[in-house]
Amino acid sequence: MENYSNLFSTQPSSSTSNSYHFMGTSAAASSHDRHHHGQPCNSGGSLSHGLFSNSKQQQDGGDEGARSSPHGRGESSAGPDGTGGEADVVVEKKKGEKKERRPRYAFQTRSQVDILDDGYRWRKYGQKAVKNNNFPRSYYRCTHQGCNVKKQVQRLSRDEGVVVTTYEGTHTHPIEKSNDNFEHILTQMQVYSGLNNVPTAFSNHMFQ
């Protein structure tokens, strides 16, 4: 809760690249332990659920068990085989069309921990070292059945106090547990959302 970094949202420049909606906030993020008191207190499940919704694009990925790649690998792009479900979720290359990805929503927080406890259950499925960054990037997927939401968590190398979380997709289910902390974060995000503050320097760094 020191200072709110930045917040911005880039427009879906549908040009091949992804669209990022970026926002910044600072929080005492606590997550250390994901679901201990995992009670389904679906207190509305509105907050984050609504906030990260990208209106359209992938809202279908819904029940398609997400992964059903027959060959195990290369599922991400070899997807479009007609099974509808996944094909339209990952709008990658569709027979010739230029690839287009789901919009991502990123926001940075000033926190000691990497993972924000946003009320959903996530399963880590990968971690990669990122170029020009001392810290690795972690990849998470929502564990809820049929929910295809992913998120990446990365810490800035030049400011290790800042954690960048990138969400991709929309949750197809209500939040699994309420979380005052995250609600607080969201509140901040909304507030700053109105300011239209754009951190250019940072954006140049993170996404391209």
Partner DNA sequence: CGTGTTTGACCTGCGC
Partner DNA sequence: GCGCAGGTCAAACACG
Footprint of DNA (CB under 7 A): 16, 34-35, 67, 69, 71-78, 92-93, 99, 121-131, 137-141, 143, 150, 152
* Least distance CB 22 / DNA (angstroms): 14
Question: Whose Cβ is closer to DNA: residue 115's or residue 185's?
Answer: 115
Question: Whose Cβ is closer to DNA: residue 93's or residue 184's?
Answer: 93
* Least distance CB 131 / DNA (angstroms): 4
What's the rounded Cα separation, in Å, for the pair 14 and 48?
25
Tally Cβ neighbours within 10 Å of residue 63. Answer: 12
* Least distance CB 190 / DNA (angstroms): 26
Question: Whose Cβ is closer to DNA: residue 56's or residue 131's?
Answer: 131
Q: Which residues contact 100 (CB under 8 A, 6 or more apart)?
A: 14, 16, 91, 92
Sheet holding 20-24, edge to edge: 20-24, 104-110, 162-168, 150-155, 136-142, 122-129
Question: Whose Cβ is closer to DNA: residue 1's or residue 67's?
Answer: 67
* Least distance CB 196 / DNA (angstroms): 26
